[in-house]
Amino acid sequence: MQTVLRRSGGVLVFLSTLWFILATPLLAEDIAHRRIIGFSPDGNYFAFEQSGIENGSGRAYAHIFLIDTRYNKWVSGSPYRATARGYRKLRRARRKVRDLARSSLRRYRISKKGVVLASNPITELNADPHRVSVHTRRTIRQLDEPLVFSIREINVRTPRCRRYTGRRIKGMIIRVRRKGGRWKTLHSDTRIPKSRGCPTRYSIEDVIRLKKRDGGAVYAVIYSFIRSGPDGEERRFIAGGWHDDEGDYKEPDYYGDLYDYYGGRGSNSAVNDSYDDGNSGSYRDDREDYGRDDPEVDRNGNDYTNEDAAPYVDGQDGSGYMKYKRAPGSR
């Protein structure tokens, strides 16, 4: 009987030790989550939030970052940080950081959600974490040239990180191009800022687009990175902006598309005739035929590119559908 108990006790000790070894890497991971807050109306400012549970201390944290997309710098006072312990600690930390950032979010008029063109969560297996190609509009017939965002990891000597990890510390080079065009470098690390810690790898998390009223668009790209610390690995986020004001973006000509749909000239001639020659990006302004002034704003000023807004704009008959001018030769 005693022999059986000893054997059983040994098995229990072995299983407990094995469970502890297997569970330790999981317990040492600090996986932050992000929430997109939005843009200012002119696209010059972008805000997002990250939150999670700290390694070691077990505290909940929440940070709000407010970025100037023209210079890719934090605005004065950003980032805003809050922590909490105890019951519902994560919810309380997020509430505290929103209170801290509220006045700045109002001052910079952060109110436009933009359109998420791509998202690559940590659970995604098929996507390339370092490269993403996107169309710039949510339409069935894609007439615009795709944009390609790329992030390349580079080794950056960072002596302060030697005590945390034996891995090489990585910086990043961020580039963008139109498909078939030349790469444009948006950012290149020469050193790792202390706020980033000791990063060992990066990936593209989200690409968000906001159409500007004066033409062109602004893109905010959120990047996730894994860094090493005294309590294990941590996942965090950074973001940068790019203003596409070069004039090579061409808005689809809705009237030309409709003309082609109803049996007019071929799609190529209908589209090409509506654009100016060269790369100016200007197009024939037939938008008065739609009873609206902006392809993404209805007659009441509601931006229906916002996921939370109504997907239809009011026609002049109040039917709730867009009212188009009938194309020549259509029935």
- The vertex-22 CA angle with 19 and 24, nearest 5°, equals 100
Picking from 86, 113, 140, the residue at the C-terminal end of a domain is 113
Closest CA to 174 of 164, 166, 165, 183: 183
191-202 per-residue burial string, b: 16 or more CB within 10 A, e: under 16: ebeeebbbbbbb
Q: Identify whether 322 is part of a domain.
A: no
Please indicate, yes or no, whether residues 151 and 227 belong to a single structural domain of this protein. yes
Same domain (yes/no): 129, 235: yes
189 lies in a domain?
A: yes
Strand bridging mode 80-84 / 115-119 = unpaired
How do strand 33-39 and strand 45-53 relate by DSSP bridges? antiparallel
| Residue that terminates a domain, selected from 202, 228, 247 | 247
Same domain, 104 and 215: no
Q: Residue 174 is part of which domain span?
A: 116-247
Whether residues 121 and 243 share a domain: the answer is yes
pLDDT at 223 exceeding the cut of 80: yes
Q: With beta carbons less than 8 A apart as the criterion, state whether 64 and 101 touch.
A: yes
Give me the chain's average pLDDT, please.
Answer: 75
Asked whether 188 and 214 are in contact (CB, 8 A), the reply is no
Pairing outcome for strands 33-39 and 147-155: unpaired
> Looking at the predicted structure, is the pLDDT value of residue 114 above 60?
yes
Q: Are residues 237 and 132 in the same domain?
A: yes
Asked if pLDDT for residue 308 goes beyond 50, the answer is no
Band of residue 87 on the pLDDT scale cut at 50, 70, 90? confident
Helix (H) or strand (E) holding 256: helix 254-261
Q: What pLDDT sits at residue 307?
A: 37
For β-strands 60-68 and 80-84, DSSP reports them as: antiparallel
pLDDT at 216 over 50: yes
* pLDDT for 246: 61
282 domain residue, yes or no = no
Distances (CA, A) of 183 to 114, 162, 176, 186: 24, 34, 6, 9
Closest CA to 315 of 299, 330, 296: 299
pLDDT at 9: 52
Q: For position 289, what pLDDT does the model report?
A: 34
Cα 67 from Cα 37, distance rounded (Å): 12
Taking residues 149-160, report their average pLDDT: 94
pLDDT beyond 80 at 72: yes
Q: Are 159 and 140 in contact (CB under 8 A)?
A: no
Asked if residue 239 is part of any domain, the answer here is yes
The candidate with the shortest Cα–Cα distance to 151, out of 200, 192, 202, 198, is 202
Does some domain include residue 178? yes
20's CB contacts (< 8 A; 6+ apart) are none
Of 22 and 272, the one with more pLDDT? 22
> Each residue of 244-260: pLDDT tens digit?
976 444 444 444 443 33
152 pLDDT more than 70: yes
* Whole-number Å distance between alpha carbons of 51 and 37: 13
- Model pLDDT, residue 145: 83
Task: Look at residue 9 and give its three-state secondary structure.
Answer: helix
Q: Are residues 225 and 102 in the same domain?
A: no
Place of tokens 């290149």: 188
Q: CB-side exposure of 103: number of CA atoms within 13 Å?
A: 5
| 72 found inside a domain | yes
Same-domain pairing of 97 and 169? no
CA distance 218 to 116: 12
- Does residue 240 sit in the same domain as residue 181? yes
pLDDT of residue 232: 86
Residue 331 lies in a domain: no
Q: Are residues 123 and 231 in the same domain?
A: yes
Asked whether residue 300 is domain-assigned, the answer is no
| Model pTM score | 0.67
Q: Which of 113, 137, 156 is the last residue of a domain?
A: 113
Residue range 86-101: mean pLDDT, rounded: 94
| 121 shares its domain with 67 | no
Q: Tell me, yes or no, whether 145 and 214 share the same domain.
A: yes
* H/E stretch holding 164: none
Provide the number of structural domains found in the chain: 2
Handedness of CA 122, 178, 135, 218 (dihedral sign): positive
Short-list 210, 256, 251, CA closest to 115? 210
Beta-strand pair 131-134/147-155? antiparallel
The pLDDT of residue 66: 97
Whether residue 224 sits in one domain with residue 120: yes
